[in-house]
Amino acid sequence: DVKVTQSSRYLVKRTGEKVFLECVQDMDHENMFWYRQDPGLGLRLIYFSYDVKMKEKGDIPEGYSVSREKKERFSLILESASTNQTSMYLCASSHTDYGYTFGSGTRLTVV
């Protein structure tokens, strides 16, 4: 029944490492999104994509990049991880009717 899968539930990385967070959906959705979830701040949009090889910056894109080579897969890349990127990362996908389906999240700790 799982429709949006994030490859890792927990990750611990060192400062300066390049980090890849993977997200795969099996619902043939056009739209995919990456958010980070922090206490007291809610969910903040990092990047999103409306189609393959297409990407748009969200509200907090600094320090991140994304890749969408296939419709079902949307990867979030931390080029050089920093401690302020320690957070819960949520991937979501949607069709054009606004309904989002979320993954279970990846809790990233940067030490």
Of 34, 35, 74, 89, the one binding another protein by CB under 8 A: 35
User: What is the signed CA dihedral for 39, 43, 46, 49, rounded to 10 degrees?
Assistant: 160
The yes or no reply on residue 77 touching another protein (CB under 8 A) is no
Dihedral sign computed on CA atoms, order 5, 89, 41, 52: negative
> Does residue 96 touch another protein according to CB under 8 A?
yes
**Parallel, antiparallel or unpaired: strands 106-110 and 10-13:** parallel
Nearer to another protein, 20 or 50 (CB): 50
Determine, following the binding rule CB under 8 A, whether residue 10 of this chain makes contact with another protein: no
Block residue for tokens 């990049």: 65
Binding site for another protein (CB under 8 A): 31, 33, 35, 40-45, 48, 50, 58, 90, 92, 94, 96, 98-100, 102-105
